[in-house]
Amino acid sequence: MKRLRILALMLPLLALSACKKAPSDSADASASGDIPIGEFASLTGATASFGQSSHKGTQMAVDEINAGGGVLGRKLRLVTEDDQSKPGEAAIVVRKLISRDKIVALLGEVASSRSLEAAPICQQAGIPMISPASTNPKVTEAGDMIFRVCFIDPFQGTVLSKFALSKGWKRVAVLTDVKQDYSVGLSQFFKAHIAANGGQVVSEQSYSSGDKDFKAQLTAIKGTDPEAILASGYYTEAGLIASQARELELNVPLLGGDGWDAPALVEVGGKAIEGSFFSNHFSDEDAAPSIQAFLKKFEAKYGQKPDAMAALGYDSAMILADAIKRAGATDGLKLKEAIAATKNFPAVTGNITLNAQRNADKPAVMLVVKEGKFRYVETVSP
Amino acid sequence: MRPRIILLLVIAAFASVSFCFTGHPEAAWPLAQLDDYLLNILLMAGINVILAVSLNMVNGYTGQFSLGHAGFMAVGAYGSAAITQIQGKVLLETFGFLGAAAPVFLFSLAVLAGGILAALAGLAVGLPSLRLKGDYLAIVTLGFGEIIRVMLQNTESLGGARGLTGIPPRTTLGWTWAIAALSVYCVGSLVRSTYGRGFLAVRDDEIAAEAMGIHTTAYKVTAFVVGSFFAGLAGALYAHMICYISPEGFSFMKSVDVVVMVILGGMGSTAGVTLAAIGLTFLNEVLRQMQEYRMVAFSLLLIVLMITRPQGLIGDLARFLPGRRRLKP
Amino acid sequence: MNEFLQQLINGLSLGAIYALIALGYTMVYGVLRFINFAHGDVFMVGAFSAMYAARWMAPHTAAWPQWLSALCVLGAAMLLCALLGILVERLAYKPLRERPRLTVLITAIGVSQLLEYTAQLVFGAAPRGFPSLITTRSIAGLGGLHLSNIQALVLLVSALLLAGLHFIVMRTRMGLAMRAMSLNPTAAMLMGVNNSVVISFTFGLGSALAAAAAVFYASLYQAIDPFMGVMPGMKAFVAAVLGGIGSLPGAMAGGLILGVLETLVVGYSGLLGISPGYRDAVAFVLLILILLFKPSGLFGKLQREKV
């Protein structure tokens, strides 16, 4: 009898769950007042340093736009939510931004895994999303509402491989952080390109972020006598890898991606990281006026040097503001068309044109660590 | 009326009322529009209820301390996603004759498969490790949870560290709360059955239970398998709600989150644990502005609770409900 | 062969770190029969206090020889952690002395989380560079083998600490009291042992050991963060169980074995046909195997359950 009662309760629920939903029209924000722009970032937790950087850049861009009178005669209002660098949280805060704060567009995240959570939600809600620094190709594959202002893993992997080959390094070892999707992607595309272009991956090793001891991997790598090592993970581990490699007298240059761009790389790597190369979105040595102006403003506002994440955060907000201006409206579809039409936008991280896959087409720069500073080496075009 | 029935009615009412306001993409009842955010919290609350109630089966009723619940959730999540995402296209064609019902049918299949896979994993983990006791068991289950995570991280066909994208959004309030009700009902019935008294006996005094002829290992493994099954269901629902899963989401921290719900609710009190799971989910949102302090406050709460009220905040209060039969010694 | 020897050296130096942390685990367990889950986090606090101590002392000790200032930093960190350990025991564990072990275990998880998140709040989540207390030098070994001076120091110090602890436990009155308590707390109390003092002493000593391990760990690996204690803590626990929890030489042996095994699995993952990503699984697989086949560990005594 008890069981029957329960079943009776459950059946209608199951039946209801099969019902289809009528298409809903998301209420457009009112035509006057501030324009609410959403941002989600990892302000706390494991990748807090990236999230805080990109947030600073974004905030500065919004302040700058508002100081210049806003767009369409209205001010931008940045609504920021913290996802604590935690899986699952991004989905919730993005839903909150969309349904509670009625944002017209979303900026974020740095980490691809959290952008991947948010992308389907934005796509489904018809809210354009611009990711500043998620390099996983899958992010923008979620649909035509999702954009990014950075290059993607395949491109960065290719850039690093091209650079290694141009230096005459044909025997390369690869050390991947299997816990970071970013590192796995970078290594994967690097390997594919270098193998197809006359190079050879002599050793493939891996670790998980948080590891501190890489001597086992490095000893194995040393046995294969490489000419360079790709350490595709983030800066903390890259610094440790460099110093432990030198201890083992493995004195070949290290290569890395934009995940290296942090002062902590030098703090941890010290002398050992000197002479290593990494690809990045921009170089603060670039004389271009847009870059120098950005550097000056950022230092004045926050009292510190901006990193690539800050520049990308800035660019993402600038491109959005530009698109709102061109669209002349804030509704999702018009905004999406305008963002997609972005062409040769003079951003800090290069002239940005969004391609058919909604990724930014722009060159990467190679930097070298010299005397504790990141010096410009060359620009590599796609 | 017995409190369990009251509890079920509460959950069912919760489910059906919120259902009328549903606004999830795939299935909805267009009576009124529930905003997406609240919907999401309600879904999360339901999933947390399933997780907490199922962990309570192991930790609360059988007295075996498991710290690897997130691992079984991961098995369920990946198992179900393998059906709807990786093999989704092929299977949808196979079931094409069902017409519009095919995706829903496939989803129910996937949820069930997630549960069964997790139960099998629970069996594989439980058989060897449940011979251990107390803190050793806790560490071994923690170890198994981590091993599951490391394996997922290194399995390219399941997306590896990059995770699995493109899982169809199928989880609805109806599904979530129906399964939550099911878990409450199953765990409650199991523990209250003649057979189920054995779980409590194992918890209260293992040696005495054994002396009375109770097959303690069988009871422990059963509790573990049932707990894992529901954790698998929760994982499947989670995967089809977030639509993206990665091994990172099922780390030791997630297990601890569930343990906190169980302890706050009171080990061995389904009503308490259910309320704690719902309460904590909402509290999480209320405290969103002070995130950094939230975890500090929770851990402090855990310590103070253990010293002053080891029976949990809510556990004992449920005793004051009319007609409750006491399950505690 | 050379590569194999180098891997062995790598493994031993990693294992010595695990052994250092495991000694603290095993001390507490030997006396109290409870796993101090927060040990790894006391280790983390040790690293941070050493960092701040080094920074604070730097202007005052600039003229001193390097080893002396390093020793001061080490002493400061050990003292701070010993106080923290005693404080945690008094506030969180003492009220639970007569309660079931699970209650204590859950409290320990709470303490562990409290330390981690408080540290995150205070120190920030991003990894910080650890000041180099001793300049790293490579001690040139035979035939192109490499061993840094810090690695050698870690091995030496862990051996010394083992001997010192052995002396304390076997030759001092406090050690006698600790052993008596571990055999039977009630009987020990009746014989005039002040249990509270013994427990506080054990906690203080164990936490100081954790701090010492942290200083060496941070000197070796230069970066510290609020969650740095989680994995080493678990590995050290495995090492302690492997050696037979409660046994000091066992903890040492367990740490070294685990370090070597982990290093070899990573170094020869190609030959074994697995991904080096399984590194963290090694410890847990080992733990499960040892608990299933020889729960008393390598050096431990089997405990019969009494009714």
Instruction: Flag if A217 and C3 touch (Cβ within 8 Å).
Output: no
Are the Cβ atoms of C102 and B292 closer than 8 angstroms? no
Placement of tokens 């780390």 in the chain: B251
Which residues in chain B have their CB less than 8 angstroms from residue A20's CB?
A: 26-28, 100
Q: Are B161 and A181 in contact (CB under 8 A)?
A: yes
Between chains, do A216 and C266 touch, taking CB under 8 Å as contact? yes
Q: Which amino acid, one-letter code, is at B324?
A: R
Tally of residues, chain A = 382
Q: Please give the biggest Cα pair distance in chain A.
A: 81
- β pairing state of A171-177 and A200-207: parallel
Phi, psi dihedral angles at A345 (to 5 degrees): -75, 125
Inter-chain touch C277–B136, beta carbons under 8 Å: no
Q: Which of B47-61, B192-206, C138-152 has the highest mean pLDDT?
A: B47-61
* Overall average pLDDT of the B71-87 stretch: 93
Domain segments of chain B as ranges: 3-320
* Token output for B5: 């029935």
The H or E element containing residue B192 is helix B173-192
| B3-320 CATH pick, 1.10.260, 1.10.3470, 3.30.420, 2.40.128 | 1.10.3470
The one-letter amino acid at C2: N
Question: What is the pLDDT at residue B26?
Answer: 40
Whether residue C52 lies within 8 A of chain A, CB to CB, comes out as: no
* Residues in chain C closer than 8 A to A267 (CB atoms): 128-129
d(CA B19, CA B30): 10
Nearest CA in chain B to C122: B292
Q: In which band, very low, low, confident or very high, does the pLDDT at B4 lie, cut at 50, 70 and 90?
A: low
Contacts of residue C271, defined as CB under 8 A and 6 or more positions apart, other chains included, come to none
Among C138, C220, C267, select the one facing A216 at the smallest CB separation: C267
Q: Exposed/middle/buried for C167, CB within 10 Å: 0-12, 13-18, 19+?
A: exposed
Tell me which residues of chain C have a pLDDT lower than 70: 1, 140-143, 302-307
Model confidence band, residue B219 (pLDDT cutoffs 50, 70, 90): very high
Angle subtended at Cα C268 by Cα C263 and Cα C270, rounded to the nearest 5 degrees: 140
Beta-carbon separation of B303 and C34 below 8 A: no
Please report residues of C whose CB lies closer than 8 A to that of B254: none
Answer yes or no: do B302 and C102 touch at CB < 8 A. Answer: no
Q: Answer yes or no: do A264 and C126 touch at CB < 8 A.
A: yes
The H or E element containing residue A229 is: strand A228-231
What does DSSP assign to residue A170? -
For residues C28 and C169, the answer to whether their CB atoms sit within 8 Å is no
pLDDT of residue B315: 61
Identify which of A44, A217, A247 has the shortest CB distance to residue C266: A217
Residue whose C-alpha is closest to residue C220's, from C12, C69, C59: C12
pLDDT at C215: 93
Compute φ and ψ for A131, nearest 5 degrees.
-90, 130
∠ CA A252-A254-A255, nearest 5°, is: 140
Our CA-based measurement puts residue B147 at a distance from the nearest CA of chain A, in whole angstroms, of 13
Measured between beta carbons, the chain C residues lying within 8 angstroms of A236 are 127, 223
Determine the pLDDT at residue A297.
93
Q: pLDDT for A82-103, tens place per residue?
A: 888 888 889 999 999 998 889 9
Residues in chain A predicted with pLDDT less than 70, given as ranges, are 1-32, 382
Burial of A5 (0-12, 13-18, 19+ CB in 10 A): middle
Structure tokens at C29: 């367990």
pLDDT given at position C13? 87
CA atoms of B13 and B20, how far apart (whole Å)? 11
- Report yes or no: A10 at the C interface, CB cutoff 8 Å: no
| pLDDT at residue B130, rounded to an integer | 82
Strand, coil or helix: A347: strand
Report strand pairing: A105-107 vs A35-41.
parallel
Q: How far is C219 from chain B (nearest CA, A)?
A: 28
Contacts of C102 in chain B (CB under 8 A): 63, 65, 134-135
* Residue B271 Cα, gap to closest chain C Cα (Å): 21
pLDDT digit string, tens, across residues B14-41: 655 555 444 444 444 443 456 788 888 9
Task: State the Cα–Cα distance between residues A243 and C63, nearest whole angstrom.
Answer: 27
Min distance B102 CA to chain A CA atoms (Å): 11
Residue B310 touches partner C, C-beta closer than 8 Å: yes
Q: What is residue A77's predicted lDDT score, i.e. its pLDDT?
A: 93
Which residues on chain B are in Cβ contact (under 8 Å) with C300?
none
CA closest to B253 among chain C residues: C113
How far is it, in rounded angstroms, from Cα B77 to Cα B72? 9
What tokens appear for C139 in the block?
């001690």
- Contact B30/A184, CB-based, under 8 Å? no
Q: How confident is the model at residue B316 (pLDDT cuts 50, 70, 90)?
A: low
CA of C210, closest CA in chain B: separation in Å? 20
Residues of A in contact with B255 (CB under 8 A): none
Radius of gyration of chain A (CA): 23
Domains (ranges, CATH) in chain C?
A: 2-138+149-293 (1.10.3470)
A46 contact C CB<8A: yes
Cα–Cα distance list, C128 to A111, A268, C150 (Å)? 20, 8, 20
Q: Using DSSP, state whether A198 is helix, strand or coil.
A: coil
* CATH code assigned to A154-280: 3.40.50.2300
Q: Which residue has the tokens 């699984």?
A: C281
Mutation for A interface: B6, B26, B233, B248, most A CBs within 10 A: B248
Fold of A35-151+287-362: Rossmann fold (3.40.50)
Q: Chains with 3 or more CB pairs closer than 8 angstroms to B?
A: A, C
For C278, the closest chain B residue by CA position comes to B150
How many Å from the N-terminal Cα to the C-terminal Cα in chain C?
54
Confidence of residue B8 (pLDDT cuts 50, 70, 90): low
Render chain C in DSSP notation, one character per residue: -HHHHHHHHHHHHHHHHHHHHHHHHHHHHHHH-S--TTHHHHHHHHHHHHHHHHHHHTTTSTTS-HHHHHHHHHHHHHHHHHHHHHHHIIIIIGGGTTS-HHHHHHHHHHHHHHHHHHHHHHH-SS-EEPP-SS---EEE-GGG-EEEHHHHHHHHHHHHHHHHHHHHHHHSHHHHHHHHHHH-HHHHHHTT--HHHHHHHHHHHHHHHHHHHHHHHHHHH-EE-TTTTHHHHHHHHHHHHHH-TT-HHHHHHHHHHHHHHHHHHHHTHHHHTS-GGGHHHHHHHHHHHHHHH-TTTTTPPP-----
Tokens of B273: 């644990």
Tens digits of residue pLDDT in B113-127: 999 999 999 999 998
**DSSP 8-class letter at A199:** -
DSSP 8-class letter at B173 = H
Mean of the pLDDT values across residues B132-159?
A: 86
Size of the B and C interface in Cβ pairs below 8 Å:
103
> Which of chain B's residues have a Cβ under 8 Å away from the Cβ of A208?
153
B232/B115 Cα distance (integer angstroms): 4
Three-state SS at A226:
coil
| Mean per-residue pLDDT, B32-59 | 88
Report the alpha-carbon distance of residue A319 to residue A61 in Å, rounded: 10
The set of residues, in sequence order, having a beta carbon less than 8 Å from that of B39 and lying 6+ positions away, is: A95, B18, B21, B22, B23, B24, B173
Phi first, then psi: what are they for A150, rounded to 5°?
-115, 170
In angstroms, rounded to a whole number, what is the distance separating the alpha carbons of residues A48 and B30?
A: 40
Delimit the domains of chain A by residue range.
35-151+287-362, 154-280
Single out the residue of A366, A210, A243 nearest to residue C138, CA to CA. A243
Average the pLDDT over B159-168 and give the result: 85
3-state secondary structure of B87: coil
Residue B184's closest chain A neighbor by CA? Answer: A6
Tell me which chain B residues have a C-beta less than 8 angstroms from the C-beta of A125: 36
Q: Which residues contact C142 (CB under 8 A, 6 or more apart)?
A: none
Chain B residues touching residue C289 (CB < 8 angstroms): none
Q: CB contacts < 8 Å between A and C, how many?
A: 101
Tokens 């006057």, residue located = A32
Q: B124 and chain C: CB distance < 8 Å anywhere?
A: no
Mean local confidence (pLDDT), B202-223: 91
Pair A380, A162: CB distance under 8 Å: yes
A chain contacts of residue C124, beta-carbon cutoff 8 Å: 48
Q: How far is CA A41 from CA A21, A135, A304, B136, in A?
A: 31, 15, 20, 39
User: Cα A373 from chain centroid?
Assistant: 22
A240: left (phi over 0), alpha (psi -120 to 50) or beta: alpha
Q: A188, A200, A249: which is closest to A226 by C-alpha?
A: A200
Q: CA B14, CA B281: separation in Å to the nearest integer? A: 15
Contact B162 A185 (CB under 8 A): yes
pTM: 0.85
pLDDT of the residue at B187: 93
Q: How far is CA B71 from CA B22, B228, C285, in A?
A: 30, 9, 15
Please state, in angstroms and rounded to a whole number, the distance separating the CA atoms of residues C30 and A249. Answer: 42
Most B CBs within 10 Å, among A10, A11, A17, to test the B interface: A17
Per-residue burial over C200-215, b if 16 or more Cβ lie within 10 Å, else e, is: bbbbbbbbbbbbbbbb
* Cβ <8 Å between B139 and C114: no
Give how far Cα C20 sits from Cα of A177, A215, C25, C154, C161, Å.
Answer: 27, 19, 9, 9, 8
Residue A93: closest C-alpha in chain B: B37
